[in-house]
Amino acid sequence: MSRVFSVIPNICEGKDEKFIALLTEKLKQVNNLILLNVSMDKTRNRTVFSFTGTKEAIFEGGVILYEEAHKHIDMRKHKGEYPRIGAVDVFPFVPLLQATIEEAIVLANEFAEKISGMFKVPVYLFGESAKFPIRHDVENIREGEYEGLAARLKDPRWKPDFGPDEFKPDFGATIIGARLPLVSFKLKLSTSDLEITRKLCRAIQHSTGGLRHVTAYSGVVHETQQTQITVSVSNYKVTPIYKVIEMTRMEAKRFGIQVVETEMIGLIPELVFLESAMYYMNISGFSYENLIEKNIQQHLNEKVYFVN
C-alpha cells in the first residue's frame, strides 16, 4: 500500500466566496491531487483546505495556494476572530496510511525551503518539525499575531527557520511543519458575553490549567451575536473530544449558560466519533472490527471484491 499524507493549509480569507471558489477550482486541476475538503469560516475570516496526492501534486497545489494568497490577501486589511501571522497562516503535513511522522518532517522541511525561496517570506517550522522546543506549539509562534510580527522579526530568538527576517506588510509570515491529525470544532454558547466565553477558554485549554493537548479561542457569531469557542485537540487519543465538551458544559453551568451546538471543522478521524458514541451510549465490549464499513474495507484490502 502506498504511503498517504495530507496537508491542511489555513488561509486568512473566509468571506470572499468567489475567490475561494476560484482557488478551489485551480487546485482541482492539479494532476494526481485529491481535494478532500474546503471549510470556509466567515467569523474567523479563514478557510481551511485539505488535500492529498503524490508528493509532486501536493507541492504543486501548495505553490498555487501561496501564489493566489499572495495576490489576493492583504494582511494589512485582515480582521478575524482567530490568531494569525500571515496570508497562508499554517501549512501542516500529516501522516496517514502507512506513513510516518518522520517522513512528514522531511516533506515539511523541503516544502518550507521551496516556499521561502520562491516567495521570499519568513517561514517558521512548527510541530514535530520544530528546531526549537518553544516553536513546537503553533500558538507560541502566533503570539503577538500579525500586528506584532515586525517587532518579533527583529528579535534574534525569533529569526525564521527559512527565508528573510524582514517584515512583509502585505503577506506577513507563514508556518509550515509536520504534526499528527488535529481535531478542530466549535462550541456555540447560549450567551453573548465574550468575557464569560474567555473564562471558559482559560478553563479548558492546557496552557491555562485545562486539558492536555487542548487550545481554545473565543469569538462571536456575527449573525446571532452569540459567542463560540473554537477548540483544537492536537492528540485526540490522549484527550478525547467528549472530555472537552463535558468539561466545557460543567464550567458553563457556573455562569448559567449552555453549549447549544457543536460544529466540526474540516475532516475528522472516524475513531473520534466512535469513542464519543461509546461514551455517551455507555457501550462496553464493542470492537472497532464490528463496524460493517471496516469489515468490508478489510476484505477489499485483501483483494476480495463483490461481483454481480
> How does pLDDT run across 63-110, given as a tens digit for each residue?
999 999 999 999 999 998 889 999 999 999 999 878 899 999 999 999
Q: Say how many residues make up the chain.
A: 308
pLDDT of residue 38 exceeding 90, the answer is yes
pTM: 0.78
Gap between the Cα atoms of 6 and 35, Å rounded: 10
Residue showing cell 478521524: 269
Gap between the Cα atoms of 22 and 84, Å rounded: 23
In 3D, which of 11, 26, 116, 113 has the Cα closest to residue 72?
Answer: 11
Beta strands in 12-120 (DSSP E): 33-41, 46-53, 88-95
State residue 301's pLDDT score.
Answer: 57
Task: Copy the grid coordinates of residue 121.
Answer: 517570506
pLDDT of residue 306 exceeding 70, the answer is no
Q: Residue 237 to residues 76, 126, 137: CA-CA distances in angstroms?
A: 39, 20, 18
Q: Determine phi and psi for 263, rounding to 5 degrees.
A: -120, 120
State residue 96's pLDDT score.
Answer: 86
State residue 271's pLDDT score.
Answer: 85
Class of domain 5-178: alpha beta
pLDDT of residue 307 exceeding 50, the answer is no
State residue 297's pLDDT score.
Answer: 66
Give the list of residues 6+ apart from residue 67 with CB closer than 8 angstroms, or none: none
Average pLDDT, the chain: 92
Whether 5-178 shares its CATH topology with 183-268 is answered no
In 3D, which of 191, 200, 264 has the Cα closest to residue 233?
Answer: 264
Question: What are the extents of the domains in the chain?
Answer: 5-178, 183-268
Please name every residue paired with 227 in a beta bridge, in sequence order, or none if there are none.
Answer: 220
In 3D, which of 105, 112, 110, 134 has the Cα closest to residue 66?
Answer: 112
pLDDT of residue 308 exceeding 50, the answer is no
pLDDT of residue 298 exceeding 70, the answer is no
- Percent residues over pLDDT 70 in the chain: 95
Q: Which of 96-105, 125-134, 242-251 has the least mean pLDDT?
A: 96-105
Residue 287 banded pLDDT, cuts 50, 70, 90: confident
Q: In what order do the strands lie in the sheet with 259-265?
A: 214-221, 226-233, 183-189, 259-265
State residue 57's pLDDT score.
Answer: 96
- Percent residues over pLDDT 90 in the chain: 79
Please name every residue paired with 263 in a beta bridge, in sequence order, or none if there are none.
Answer: 186
CATH architecture of the region 183-268: 2-Layer Sandwich (3.30)
Q: Which of 177-191, 209-223, 290-304 has the least mean pLDDT?
A: 290-304
Q: Is 36 exposed, middle or buried (0-12, 13-18, 19+ CB in 10 A)?
A: middle
pLDDT of residue 172 exceeding 90, the answer is yes
Residue 295 banded pLDDT, cuts 50, 70, 90: confident
Residue 299 banded pLDDT, cuts 50, 70, 90: low
Gap between the Cα atoms of 52 and 92, Å rounded: 12
Rounded mean pLDDT of 215-224?
90
